[in-house]
Every structure is written in C-alpha cells, then in structure tokens.
C-alpha cells in the first residue's frame, strides 16, 4: 500500500478501500492464472431433473464431493465403493461383534474346526475393513 500512496501520504478511507479492491483484483487474477497452468477446471451445468437425482444420491456429502466421487469411481472402473466412511465404521463394528459372538460359541461348545475356520475368515474380513477405514 505504501507504493500505491507514495505521492499521497494522507489518503482518505475511500481511497484506501478502492486501492485494496484493485490490489485484490490483480492478486486474484494472477493467482488464478498460475493455478490454471497446473490444474484444469471444468464448469458443469445440469438440468432440473439431473439436479434432483444428484440431490437424492449425494446423501450427506456436498455436491462437489459427490461429483468428485462419481468421477473417480468412473476412472477407477467402479472399483471404489460409494459407502461413506461412517457406514464402513458401522460394518466394521458389526464384524467385531460377530467375532465376539463366534468366540462365545467356541467357548461354550468346545473345539470345532468349522467354527474356528469361520472365525478366521471373519477376522480376515475385519482386518480388510480396518484397512479401508484408516
């Protein structure tokens, strides 16, 4: 600001506000120009029917997050799940409950290879879910 008001040592409040606006415009223009060199942006438009579908499908996510997820899901060939992390946590908790119940059955009924194999399979699923959550 000192450079802008070099000639005018006592600017008015209105002059300061206008100078700040001009500075912000120049700074923002330069910022966007540099950002566009490394990151391509697209503008999307949707009709009312499609917007309604997006609002229904997005759940608790923002529209931007939903669209990012949809794009990455398409790029990954549909391998990425549409589950929220909260849903994965709930499934993970249910798997841990199932492990506890299976261990109780093992304790009550004694050694059983079938139950032990089932327990091992459930535990491996639980490990896979814990990797997804973290």
Burial (Cβ within 10 Å: 0-12, 13-18, ≥19) of residue 89: middle
Closest CA to 131 of 100, 98, 85: 85
pLDDT of residue 110: 79
The secondary structure element, H or E, covering residue 96 is helix 85-109
Spatial CB neighbours of 123, under 8 Å, sequence gap ≥ 6: 99
Q: Are residues 73 and 90 part of one domain?
A: no
Distance of CA 105 to the CA centre of its chain: 39
| Threshold 0.85, pTM exceeds | no
CA 130 – CA 134 distance, rounded (Å):
6
Number of domains in the chain: 3
pLDDT category, 50, cuts 50, 70, 90? very high
Query: Which tokens is 100 given?
Result: 């506890």
Average pLDDT over residues 49-58: 91
With vertex at residue 55, the alpha carbon angle to CA 50 and CA 59, rounded to the nearest 5 degrees, is 140
Q: Are residues 49 and 33 part of one domain?
A: no
Q: Are residues 4 and 33 part of one domain?
A: yes
Supply the range of the domain harboring residue 112. Answer: 85-133
Q: Are residues 103 and 90 part of one domain?
A: yes
Q: Are residues 59 and 36 part of one domain?
A: no
* Residue range 69-119, pLDDT digits in tens: 888 888 877 654 556 677 778 888 888 888 888 888 888 887 788 888 888
pLDDT category, 11, cuts 50, 70, 90? confident
Q: Are residues 37 and 17 part of one domain?
A: yes
Output the CA torsion 56→62→68→71 (10° steps): 10
């Amino acid at each position: 600001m000192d450079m802008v008001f070099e000639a005018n040592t006592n600017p008015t409040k209105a002059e300061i506000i206008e100078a700040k606006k001009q500075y912000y415009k120049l700074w923002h223009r330069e910022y966007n120009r540099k950002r566009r060199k490394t990151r391509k942006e697209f503008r999307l438009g949707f009709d009312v029917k499609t917007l309604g579908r997006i609002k229904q499908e997005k759940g608790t996510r923002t529209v931007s997050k939903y669209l990012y997820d949809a794009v990455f899901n398409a790029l990954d060939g549909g391998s990425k799940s549409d589950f929220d992390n909260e849903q994965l946590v709930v499934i993970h908790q249910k798997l841990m409950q199932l492990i506890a119940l299976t261990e109780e059955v093992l304790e009550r009924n004694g050694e059983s290879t079938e139950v032990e194999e089932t327990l091992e399979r459930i535990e491996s699923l639980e490990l896979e879910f814990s990797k997804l959550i973290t």
